[in-house]
Amino acid sequence: MLGFGKKKKKENEKGEKDSLKKDLPESPDKDKGKGKDKGKGKDKDKDKPDPQDSSEKKIPEKKKRKLFSKELVFIFLLVLIALGASSYVVYTFYFAPKNPETLKATYKKIELKHINLPEEMIKFSFDYFPDLYVAMITFNKEMDLFDKEIERIDAIAQKYPDQQKIADKEKKAWEKAKNALEKAFLKIEKPVKETYVLLRVNKEQGLSQIQTKNKELTELALTALTPAQEMTQKLKSTQEVPEGVIQGTIYKLKKKFL
Contact call for residues 121 and 192 (beta carbons, < 8 A): yes
Measured in Å, how far apart are the chain's first and last C-alpha atoms?
Answer: 161
Contact call for residues 123 and 107 (beta carbons, < 8 A): yes
**Looking at the 3D structure of the chain, how many domains does it have?**
1
Domain that holds residue 175: 115-257
CA distances from 194 to 136, 149, 213 (A): 17, 34, 11
pLDDT by position in tens, the chain (length 258): 444 455 555 555 655 555 555 555 555 444 444 444 444 444 445 455 555 554 445 555 555 555 557 777 778 788 888 877 777 766 565 555 555 444 467 888 889 999 999 999 999 999 999 999 999 999 999 999 999 999 999 999 999 999 889 999 999 999 999 999 999 999 999 999 999 999 999 999 999 999 999 999 999 999 999 999 999 998 876 555 555 556 566 655 555 544
Spatial distance between the Cα atoms of 192 and 127, rounded to a whole number of angstroms? 12
In a domain, 181, yes or no: yes
In a domain, 177, yes or no: yes
Contact call for residues 139 and 225 (beta carbons, < 8 A): yes
Q: What's CA 31's distance to the chain center, in Å?
A: 91
CA distances from 135 to 2, 149, 221, 223, 227 (A): 169, 21, 6, 10, 14
In a domain, 39, yes or no: no
In a domain, 161, yes or no: yes
Contact call for residues 217 and 194 (beta carbons, < 8 A): no
Spatial distance between the Cα atoms of 15 and 12, rounded to a whole number of angstroms? 5
pLDDT at 25: 52
In a domain, 86, yes or no: no
Contact call for residues 189 and 103 (beta carbons, < 8 A): no
Angle between helices 203-237 and 164-201 (to 10 degrees): 160
In a domain, 95, yes or no: no
pLDDT at 79: 82
User: Which ranges of the chain would DSSP assign to H, the alpha helix?
Assistant: 2-23, 28-47, 51-57, 70-90, 100-103, 119-128, 130-159, 164-201, 203-237, 245-257
Spatial distance between the Cα atoms of 200 and 121, rounded to a whole number of angstroms? 11
Torsion sign (Cα): 131, 133, 138, 143 = positive
pLDDT at 248: 60
In a domain, 131, yes or no: yes
Spatial distance between the Cα atoms of 258 and 250, rounded to a whole number of angstroms? 11
Cα angle value 173/176/177 (rounded, 5°) = 90
